[in-house]
Amino acid sequence: MPSLSTKRAALAGATALALSIAAAPLAARAQSQDEGELDNTAPSARPPAQQPQPFQPLSDQGITLTLNYTGEAAANVSGGLRKDAAYAGQVYAGVDFDMDRIAGIDGGTLHVAVTNRHGKSLSALAIGNNTSVQEIWGTQNTHLAILTWEQHLFGDRLVVEAGRSQANIHFLNSPLYCQFQGNSGCGNPTFVFKNSNFTYFPASSWMIHAKAQLTDHVYAHVGAYEVNPDRKQASDHGTDFGIGNATGVIVPWELSYESGEAARLPFRYILGGWVDKGDYDDPLRDDTGGLAILSGRPAQVRNGRSGLYFRFEQQLTRPDPTSKRGLSIYGVAMTNLSGRVEESRFFDLGLVQTGTFPGRGEDSVGFMISDQRFSNLAMQRMQAADLAAGGSGNVSRHQVMMELSYSAQIGAAIRLSPNIQYIHNPDRTGDPFRGSPTKDALIFGAKFTVDALKLGL
């Protein structure tokens, strides 16, 4: 096992190398155009004609390329299980085919994307909680992440997409969330993954979703995504299209009231939820009715859960109507409606100021705080494990995660986001038989992204 100093030296070297080639925001369809998201990125002070353009050698043929890299470093300097450091990264390569230009199919686009994720999770190594402080970690392999056909109909008032993709890049996301590095907010509020089979990027499965514009400002959005445990296996690379082990579908939905991009203070107010008709493991009981965490037996398999959420995004200030400088706020409230689940409710609140200092119109600073409340079933499980290890059974019901971050745009291709994260009452998921409470954790992080097509190579 390498020493901590060796790990940190390697981490620093890797980060320095990555920063030398720079980074820009992940352009993956994790923030899809048809989602109608609030755009909070301030334009540059330079006239549009002087803006660096991505290298797109096939654009005249209707082919748009994407190639970028995201890296996230994190070091636990206090609390948790132990002091340590970890690094996780993702390569994203995508191509969009404009089928109108290529084949005369009006409104049609074919999307293809492949990812490679690598590295380790600091939460797994040194904190032991159930929510990663590096949102880019997960599905650590090379993966066919997206293979879909998107069709715009009725003058773009209806958009339908089908193929191989994930629920979380179409529902429950916002560019404001990924001002931050921790998975409590970026890329989606973590509650939905703890309490349902909500599919997540880049683990792809069969899906279809449609978004309809009902009025100038009201939208309805619904989808259906295959639930298949095979898609979460480390050996799955997204190229197995079989559905033999599928256990059902999850149906997310949203109704939204949106201002549109032309508004002086853009906003979105969204009521949403999900109906999960897939199998899942009981959070407490094993297949004989005992406590699974003590017996070591397989968990009881159940089917059917549902949940509800309300979320909003609102720009509060915009001194210059020709600029998107200003302060934005977002919030999320989520609850479980049915099923035996890990968490009973979740709150998330964040502030993002775009345009910070003179000459730094594209930089942003943000603060977020989330509160995860564990269910009675999860509390019984954690208390039983604590008592079995000689502890007092004193387990906190709430895990509170906070993050302060600054995102600096460096040239056309680089975005660097140092951050400080704090976890109050880290849960016991990663070390259930610890026998004593896990100390509050203080984490220093650094997130960076690079858009290779904007490097001017």
CATH number at residue 127: 2.40.160.180
> Does the pLDDT of residue 35 top 70, yes or no?
no
Least confident of 2-11, 49-58, 305-314, 331-340: 2-11
Token code pair at residue 247: 């256990």
Residue whose C-alpha is closest to residue 133's, from 179, 182, 180: 182
Tell whether 53 is covered by a domain. no
DSSP category for residue 295:
H
Which residues are CB-contacts of 212 (< 8 A; sequence separation ≥ 6)? 157, 158, 159, 219, 220, 221
Q: What was the pLDDT predicted at 22? A: 32
Per cent of the chain over pLDDT 90 is: 81
> Does the pLDDT of residue 363 top 70, yes or no?
yes
Measured CA to CA, the distance from residue 243 to residue 206 in angstroms comes to 9
Tell whether 378 is covered by a domain. yes
345, 348, 349, 354: CA torsion to nearest 10: -160
Q: What was the pLDDT predicted at 191? A: 95
pLDDT in tens, 388-436: 999 999 999 999 999 999 999 999 999 999 999 999 999 989 899 989 9
Confidence of residue 11 (pLDDT cuts 50, 70, 90): very low
Least confident of 155-159, 235-239, 427-431: 427-431
Tell whether 255 is covered by a domain. yes
> Does the pLDDT of residue 380 top 70, yes or no?
yes
Q: What was the pLDDT predicted at 183? A: 94
Confidence of residue 358 (pLDDT cuts 50, 70, 90): confident
How many domains are there within the chain?
Answer: 1
Which range has highest mean pLDDT (10-19, 97-106, 448-457)? 97-106
Instruction: For residues 57-81, give the mean pLDDT.
Output: 96
Measured CA to CA, the distance from residue 297 to residue 208 in angstroms comes to 36
Residue whose C-alpha is closest to residue 165's, from 182, 180, 150: 150
Instruction: For residues 189-217, give the mean pLDDT.
Output: 97
Q: What was the pLDDT predicted at 261? A: 75
Tell whether 153 is covered by a domain. yes
> Does the pLDDT of residue 16 top 60, yes or no?
no
Residue at token pair 């995660």: 401
Q: In which region does residue 390 sit, left (phi positive, over 0), alpha (psi from -120 to 50) or beta (all else)?
A: left
Confidence of residue 51 (pLDDT cuts 50, 70, 90): low
Tell whether 349 is covered by a domain. yes
Tell whether 52 is covered by a domain. no
Predicted structure pTM score: 0.87
Q: What was the pLDDT predicted at 172? A: 96
Confidence of residue 134 (pLDDT cuts 50, 70, 90): very high
Token code pair at residue 177: 């969330």
Instruction: For residues 11-26, give the mean pLDDT.
Output: 37
Q: What was the pLDDT predicted at 52? A: 63
Tell whether 377 is covered by a domain. yes
Tell whether 145 is covered by a domain. yes
Per cent of the chain over pLDDT 70 is: 88
**Mean pLDDT of the chain, nearest integer:** 89
Confidence of residue 235 (pLDDT cuts 50, 70, 90): very high
Which residues are CB-contacts of 61 (< 8 A; sequence separation ≥ 6)? 101, 102
Sign of CA dihedral 426, 203, 197, 150: positive
Domain coverage including residue 264: 4-47+60-454
Q: What was the pLDDT predicted at 53? A: 75
| Residue 211, SS3 per DSSP | strand
CB 347 within 8 A of CB 311: no
Measured CA to CA, the distance from residue 26 to residue 32 in angstroms comes to 12
Residue whose C-alpha is closest to residue 117's, from 3, 30, 198, 246: 30
Instruction: For residues 294-300, give the mean pLDDT.
Output: 97
> Does the pLDDT of residue 202 top 50, yes or no?
yes
Measured CA to CA, the distance from residue 205 to residue 168 in angstroms comes to 12
Instruction: For residues 272-295, give the mean pLDDT.
Output: 97
> Does the pLDDT of residue 40 top 80, yes or no?
no
